[in-house]
Structure 1
Amino acid sequence: MQTTTLAMDKGGVELGSNLLSGVSLPAAVVHEGPLTHNVAWMQRFADAHGAYLAPHGKTTMAPALFQRQLQAGAWGITLATAPQCRAAYANGVTRLIMANQLVGQANMAIIASLLEQGATFYCVVDSQENVSQLGRFFAERGLTLAVLIEVGVPGGRCGCRSKQQILSLAEAIANEPALSLAGLEGYEGVVHGDNPETCVRAYAKQLVEVAVELEAAGRFSEANPMVTASGSAWYDVIAEAFDGAPLQGRFTPVLRPGCYVVHDHGLYREAQSAVLKRRPDLQQGLEPALEVFAQVQSLPEPELAIVALGKRDIGHDQFPIALQRFREGSELSHPLSVAGWEVTKLMDQHTFVRLPEAAQDVEVGDIVAFGASHPCLTFDKWRQLLLVDDKLNVKEHLATYF
């Protein structure tokens, strides 16, 4: 009998194994088909709007996925912290946007080391004090740090609250020889109001107008300064604003959505529905690629199943959704019903599922695929995810570096 040698990772999951037999569960899974679709879809979207794509890598912190995005045409990768930037650079990402303030000498030292190794790096600033700190540190290292002024909103997160603050900060940067003002940065996800779309459009318009004003004043140190924003909910509105005449040929517009790469079954599915309503011209939207597979652990009471899955395994901005069920060791072509299943409670490693009265075929050991909301908060619970094909065979181990 012919045998096949299977590669095994440190976690003990063999390449070629099938999720329905022989894989220790729970396991976080990325489906290759939807993943491939999403990576190509968002790149086409950015290209069609004359924008560059720098996906937010903090969503997955999976270098194997970074490489797929870069190979598809991404301009760079966005990160949230200095250690994340270090991990991305160590895994082949050379153009990095840190969409955060660089604070603390230990973090500055990490970035200085990356610059010395040849990385192209940008971070954001929103205060005179931080500008002075960065100016001193990088001058002492004999390095030049490219910075972006962050444009915030009242009641929001970080960022300058007024145009005057932005203009004053640009002047302060010009007085620091070790700093280079490379553009403006914003994040529309912190914009709220009674009419969110109107507010986001106004915010995007403000970004463009301030960028043009700073360019006219000669404040930027680069010929085509960057203007960047966009999470995974309003990327269409930001792209439309960036595609307008004031920026064309004069600026580098950069979109930074992150969650699109695997999408989800909750928050971003709802956001994508809104995008397609605003833009009916867009063909076939994003597809959910991330699921967590787990097994029924106990049936302690009528109409109650306890699944060996919990807050340590899956994001819980919203309760997970039961998508499919299989008998362990069965074929993919023989799914069992999850109609009427409702997650009612999530503990560290247990999920409470209310079963409909008609669910009489549920057995301990049944394998259930769950969809999550907000992929960032599922990825960061795993040191490894499994990339599977359409038959649920494991094709690749996706290591994470949180």
Structure 2
Amino acid sequence: MTDTVEVVGRARPRPLEKGAPLASPANLLADVPLPAAAIFEAPLMHNIAWMQRFAEAHGAKLAPHGKTTMATKMFKRQIDAGAWGITLATAVQTAAAHAHGIERVLMVNQLVGRANMVLVADAIAAGLEYYCVVDSVANVRALGEFFADRNLTLNVLIELGIEGGRCGCRNAVQVETLATAIGEQPALALVGIEGYEGLIGGDDEIAAVRAYGERLVDTVKMLRASGVLQRQAPIVTASGSKWFDLIAEAFDNAELREYYTPVLRPGCYVVHDHKLYAGAMEDIKARQPGLEGELQPALEVFAHVQSLPEPGLAIVALGKRDIGHEPDLPIPLRRYPVDGDASTATLLSGWRSFHIMDQHLFIEIPGDADVAVGDVIALGTSHPCLTFDKWRNLLLVDDDLAVRAIIETSF
């Protein structure tokens, strides 16, 4: 924290990372230059345990999507709680996770480009259990040739897409053609089917997601019956953070429990949020009235009120470089007065973010708002992924805002 560097003949403190404490032990309000991103430990651990229990109750494995946080300390907490592996999106993410001790990665993306193949091959050669998805004959052939040259076997899953969606085979004929192409590559092992339901829309989204889950199950059963799968318990996997209950419902049957490896892979659940997924959680509870407990928001960003330039307006000293702002602007939650502590927080009502710039957040406040320059505002997010990638370090804090640990990211 106090390392120095020599600058034109005199020692100066080494610059801090954004959001890093000035001292240890530290309190978020007293010892951290703001803005800073904080993860509350109690809801974090609650969410990790809650989703693990949910997956196990439905006879499924859990492979949390790590691209949400890219925080290997978080990955290890999830693995220690019982997660089957970590889901990732890129070769670089895969290499970073493996370098920090993750032993099983499900990369729900196509592995394209020689340099990316090199990263993955090196990790496999070093002991990583790795899976990726394929949806084209061209990619299958490129992977087959590369991994044959490296004398390695690559586990692949066929990606099952939707019309107008992202990647993935659109129909059964494409799936069968791809399975045949994979069978012609000795370095590839077809081990299951993968999909993503998050982009499904329409007049009846629930029915459409349920139908897609059934389609995934039917497809993996078809592949198993045809004898093309090279795994005793083939993988069938889907589930983002919005519809995980419906995918679990599709996977939860006796045949899949006995003969397959169903894998759920939500990611945002680990810190949840204050709007987008909070609303999705309410919908899940309405669909599943017997569900015990719920996910809790754990991620907040803290910043000072820096200006009160006119009535009804507060300018807070953070912006697009510090907090996600899609699909919703940051959500004002609490105010801490100048030199206050956790016990002095007041809940905010009638405060609304309406504009965000690189380093400034514009908040509409009530005319009688009790606020002063220097106060600290805690802000929630809607969709947490786009906040994590703005920080090299996030602070793990307790309810008193004491800093318990620094969580590093590897973006």
State the alpha-carbon separation in 1 of the partners of residues 232 and 338 from structure 2. Answer: 60
Encode CA deviations 1:98-138: one digit per residue, 9 max, x unaligned. Answer: 10000000000000000110100000000000000000000
Which residue of 1 is the match for residue 127 of structure 2?
A: 118
Alignment of 1:243-282 (within 5 A): 243-282=252-291
Contact 2:333–2:347 under 8 Å retained in 1: no
Structure 2 residue 401 is matched with structure 1 residue 372: no
Tell me, yes or no, if structure 1 residue 241 matches structure 2 residue 255.
Answer: no
Shift of 1:328: 2.9
1:230 paired with 2:242, answer no
Cα displacement (A) at 1:17: 1.1
Query: 2:319 maps to what in 1?
Result: 310
Are positions 1:294 and 2:303 aligned together?
Answer: yes
Kindly indicate whether the alpha-carbon contact (under 8 Å) linking 1:228 and 1:256 is maintained by their aligned counterparts in 2: yes
Letter of the 2:331 counterpart: I
Q: Is the 8 A contact 2:338 2:376 kept in 1?
A: yes
**Superposition RMSD on alpha carbons, in Å?**
1.2
Distance 1:398 1:25 in 2: 16
* 1:202 equivalent among 211, 214, 219: 211
Q: Structure 1 CA distance, aligned partners of 2:254 and 2:31?
A: 57
1:363 aligns with 2:372: yes
For 1:85, the aligned partner's letter is T
Give the partner amino acid of 1:379. F
Q: Which residue of 2 aligns with 1:349?
A: 359
What TM-score comes out, normalization by structure 1 length?
0.96
The residue aligned with 1:156 is 165
Q: Which amino acid aligns with 1:390?
A: D
1:336 is displaced (CA, Å) by 3.3
Deviations 1:188-208 (A, max 9, x none): 102111100000000000000
Pick the aligned partner of 1:319 from 329, 336, 341: 329
In structure 1, the partner of 2:401 is 392
Q: Of the candidates 350, 359, 362, which is equivalent to residue 340 of structure 1?
A: 350
Mapping of residues 42-191 of structure 1, within 5 Å: 42-191=51-200
Q: Contact 2:342–2:399 at 8 Å: present in 1 too? A: no
Q: Which runs of 4+ in 1 moved over 4 A?
A: none
Once residues 391 and 56 of structure 2 are traced to their aligned partners in structure 1, the CA distance between those partners, rounded to angstroms, is: 32
Please say which of residues 238-247 and 25-34 is displaced more in the overlay.
238-247
Aligned equivalents of 1:15 and 1:157: distance in 2? 46
Structure 1 residues 396 and 192, CA gap change in structure 2 (3 angstroms): same
Partner Cα distance (1:9, 1:268) in 2: 36
Tell me the distance in 1 between the aligned counterparts of 2:291 and 2:24. 36
Instruction: Report the 3-state secondary structure (helix = DSSP H, G, I; strand = E; otherwise coil) of the residue aligned with 1:98.
Output: strand
Distance 1:69 1:15, change over 3 A: farther
Q: Is the 8 A contact 2:55 2:248 kept in 1?
A: yes
Corresponding position: 1:40 with 2:44:
no
CA distance in structure 2 between the partners assigned to 1:216 and 1:186 by the alignment: 20
Aligned to 1:27: 36
Structure 1 residue aligned with 2:341: 331
CA contact (8 A) 2:337 2:371 kept: no
Q: 1:9 offset after TM fit, Å?
A: 11
**Aligned match of 2:390 in 381, 390, 398?**
381
Structure 2, unaligned runs of 5 or more: 1-13
Letter in 1 for 2:352: E
Query: Partner letter of residue 400 of structure 1?
Result: T
Secondary structure in 2 matching 1:396: strand
Question: How many angstroms apart in 2 are the aligned matches of 1:91 and 1:81?
Answer: 16
Indicate if the aligned counterparts of 2:304 and 2:316 stay in contact, CA closer than 8 A: yes
CA contact (8 A) 1:32 1:388 kept: yes
What is the DSSP-based 3-state SS (H/G/I as helix, E as strand, rest coil) of the residue aligned with 1:21?
Answer: helix
For residues 245 and 38 of structure 1, what CA distance do their matches in structure 2 show?
27
